[in-house]
A and B are shown apart, each in its own frame.
Chain A
Amino acid sequence: MPTFFRLFRRLTLGLLLLGSTLPVARAQLHIAIAGVGANQIPISIANFTGDATPPTDIPQVVRDDLVNSGLFRSVDAGGAPLSETVTPDFAGWKTRGADAMVVGSVTRLADGRDEVRFKLYDNVKQTSLGGLALTGPGNKPRLTAHRIADFVYEKLTGQRGVFSTRIAYVIRKSQQRYELQIADADGYNFQTALASREPIISPTWSPDGTKLAYVSFELKKPVIYVHTIVTGQRIPVANFKGSNSAPAWSPDGRTLAVVLSRPGNSQIYLMNPDGSGLRRFSHSNGIDTEPVFSPDGQFIYFTSDRGGGPQIYRMSTAGGDATRITFQGDYNISPRTSPDGKTLAYIGRRDGHFQVYVLDLASSQELRLTDTVKDESPSFAPNGKLILYATEIGGRGVLAAVSTDGSVKQRITLQESGDVREPSWGPYVK
């Protein structure tokens, strides 16, 4: 036995030394990584359990919202409904490749409304990221689904979602039928705010989302109206002699910038949203049009051909000299400011192509975002991540969206047929 003991000890010592000679666990290691392996977060949205509004409707809308945003990849969850009361099998979902998952349930309440509960889980860290209980009308599952998608989007990307917002646009159904419509951001659930025999252009949302200002030709000349959406009541706030166009709201909703041809040439004026308090803003002998306020209300950007061709300029709201902002190409119009005020979007014409560009105002770096060639009317989403615009595909006017870095491109399909133009993205829903 002693021999054995010795043997034993030698063996273990030897193995110990063996281990010791391996460079096990040296000092602390420092590594640096930049960039990502995949641009999309893989997520599973399971079917919801429940008795009301076919529970599959809501998860499908959530899936579509997240996938269409371009930032998520859907991992099939199988068909089994999963409620939020049961902790998922994290290892199993992780094996399927889903970093996160959503489970939930729908319950029809006594008053006809639906209560939807859901939970968002991180499959890798095996924790819950939170959830909500939402109550909504039983016949409007899409809105609840959009709110779920907003929650998931914000938790996993850190940015606020815009799935619950609305857009306005003008659709021309025939040569004598124009409609100003408001729809969900995904193009569903449209409602008509104005129907007319004559064109409608430049719709723009008030900052609080309750009104639209637009230009209507129903009086056989361009006149600016301010239209309260819920009631349908509207006032012609600018019907001066000549043309009245290009309305724009100040961020506090208390001022409207407009373009009037009273001096003979088109010039920018400011007024109150009821039409009173008119005062001139721009002073040039050329065309000054398309005013738009910066988000802090300090500046107005506008299109001017005072230098020859149309370029974008900026002036303090208090007045003074105008500074030129765009220098590339000989035709830049339709300025729009991002919600954080750092980026300017516009339409630039180069080689006969009209395309959406963004300019970083700090560095003056310009980036072309679109590959379509007849773009118009860019409009920022309220989170500043997407730009909605009108373009022409196959000879038809359609709406499209592109992310502000150009990486994600979307087509917005509407439920009505006709030429669609003049889109405007509404603000966050309060």
Chain B
Amino acid sequence: MKQILRVALLAVFIAFIGACSSTKLKEPTPVSDVSSGQTNTPPADTNAVTTVDTTRDALNDPNSPLAKRSVYFDFDSFVVKDEYRGTVEAHAHYLQSHPGRHVAIQGNTDERGGSEYNLALGQKRAEAVRRALSLLGVPDSQMEAVSFGKEKPRALGHDEAAWAENRRVDIVYQ
């Protein structure tokens, strides 16, 4: 019984990852091992091997929602928009399951306005993301919200497109 449960859980877990992965996964098949006499398992290729790779961190997976590290904001806004909820949740889960990981949450603004006031505005955005993560259960010790204000713009233009790109919070793993 226990074995079935373990296998079933494993299968579910693999299925969950497999749903986002580009590699085609086979249907989870019970591993036939010592537990002979198990019934209700569908017939499978008994020579198949499913790889479990612990060296592969989800963070490095470009297809993972964790690949998205930035949250963008509207002008004069400090609210995390719904479209970024998924990203935030992904990181929240990751951080919860990897207590050794720390993130710097870096807030930025567009170039308009004074340096110090924009530093505070950037901080407000970073804080909004930090609070969202916190509400999802991430401990404070794993996060630090800081601001660059308008000092380190990613887009160097002087038009709305550049400004929109710079109104941004980055989640940076350390």
Q: Which residues of A contact B (CB under 8 A)?
A: 199, 201-202, 217, 220-222, 241-243, 245-246, 259, 261, 264-266, 287, 289-290, 303, 310, 331, 333-334, 347, 349, 354, 376-377, 421-422
Contacts and interface: CB of A to CB of B under 8 A. Distances in A.
A221 B119 CA distance: 11
B104 A261 contact: no
Contact of A354 (B113, B124, B151): B113
Contact of A217 (B112, B113, B120, B151): B151
A393 to B, nearest CB: 14
B117 A310 contact: yes
B113 A287 contact: no
Contacts of A201: 115-116, 119, 149, 151
Contacts of B131: 264
Contacts of A349: 113
B147 A264 contact: no
Most chain A CB within 10 A, of B115, B117, B146, is at: B115
Interface in B121-172: 121, 123-124, 127, 131, 144-149, 151-152
A259 B104 contact: no
A144 B121 CA distance: 46
Nearest to A395: B158
A191 B148 CA distance: 26
A73 B131 CA distance: 61
B104 to A, nearest CB: 7
Given A201-B116, A221-B144, A377-B115, A265 B127 contact: yes
B116 A289 contact: yes
B127 A220 contact: no
A217 B146 CA distance: 11
Given A287-B120, A310-B117, A242 B151 contact: no
A261 B127 contact: yes
Contacts, number: 88
A287 B115 contact: no
Given A199-B151, A266-B123, A334 B114 contact: yes
A289 B144 contact: no
Given A220-B104, A243-B119, 11 more contacts: A202-B116, A220-B146, A221-B104, A242-B146, A245-B116, A259-B116, A261-B120, A261-B145, A266-B124, A289-B116, A377-B114
- 7 closest A-B pairs by beta carbon, nearest first, are A266-B120, A221-B146, A199-B151, A287-B120, A333-B114, A246-B116, A289-B120
Please indicate which of the listed interface residues B113, B117, B131 has the most CB atoms of chain A within 10 Å of its own CB: B117
B158 to A, nearest CB: 8
B112 to A, nearest CB: 8
Nearest to A264: B127
Given A261-B123, A261-B127, A287-B120, A243 B147 contact: yes
A36 to B, nearest CB: 37
Nearest to A260: B123
A287 B112 CA distance: 17
A201 B147 CA distance: 13
Contacts of A222: 119, 146-148
Given A199-B152, A201-B151, A261-B123, A303 B117 contact: yes
A333 B104 CA distance: 28
Contacts of B119: 201, 222, 243, 245-246, 266, 289
Interface string B85-97: 0000000000000
A245 B116 CA distance: 7
A202 B146 CA distance: 17
A19 to B, nearest CB: 74
